[in-house]
Amino acid sequence: MVFLLCKFIMKTLGVIGGMGPQASIRFMELVIGSCTKDFGVKENDEFPRILLSSLPAPDLISDRNREKQAGDMLEQEAITLEKAGADFLVMTCNTMHVLSPRITDSTSIPFISLIDTVVNQIKSDGAKKVGLLGSMTTMTSNLYLEPLRVAGVEVCTPGIDEKNEVVSCIMKVLAGDGSLEERSILKRVIENLQNQGAQSVILGCTELPLLISHSDVEIPVFDSLRLLANASCNEIFRGIMPPCV
């Protein structure tokens, strides 16, 4: 009876993905996994409706020179997903959240911010100093730095040479070339952040968890994509049923 009701009132998730495509695939896997593990979904018609757009927008990983073009594409895609029936939207790219106002200003449905989701989890966990890895834009802009500062959380980032190494690792994943070498680089960078006093580290690019996880390092990691997937499922099933205990 519960799932008969779910089929009619579960919210439809609209996903602005494709930045990059590998992370979008993992996001879908995480959402489906949460449906079965956390919400007890067992049959095909008990899963939610998901509208996934794999948008080939220009990336802002190293610079923001094509920001207007990217913003125009995000705005149009958000409008398209709303018209297609999405009840709320998410975007599976940290860096592109610098343009999230283009999404929220052009649609009338809720947008779950990946950045806010991560920051809220950090606040909930009580961390006072965190390391931040991501694209050059993410590591040098106020995307995470400002909301974490407001929350009273100190942020440390790698030096410029290691920033460039992190960006290189991200680009390798996008090109399908991520390997043990990139994992070793990230482990070293995280160890250096730990030596600076970081109690945990934000994997602030959704390609990074494809290379490294909490089992590879000594401090906790905030997997931004996993946190967004969990938040998405909570919204899909909100008011229908609680997560499985």
Cis omega (within 30 of 0) for bond into 159: no
Residue 52, CB-side half-sphere exposure with 13 Å CA sphere: 17
Q: How confident is the model at residue 158 (pLDDT cuts 50, 70, 90)?
A: very high
Helix (H, G, I), strand (E, B) or coil at 204: coil
**How far out from the chain centre does Cα 77 lie?**
18
Query: pLDDT digits over 9-43, tens only?
Result: 899 999 999 999 999 999 999 999 999 999 999 99
The whole-angstrom separation of Cα 151 and Cα 164 is 28
C-alpha span between 2 and 239 (Å, rounded) = 12
Least confident of 51-60, 92-101, 144-153: 51-60
Domains in the chain with CATH codes: 2-113+227-236 (3.40.50.1860), 115-223 (3.40.50.1860)
pLDDT at residue 242, rounded to an integer: 57
Q: How far apart are CA 54 and CA 169, in angstroms?
A: 22
Stated pTM of the model: 0.92
Q: Do 192 and 162 touch, CB atoms closer than 8 A?
A: yes
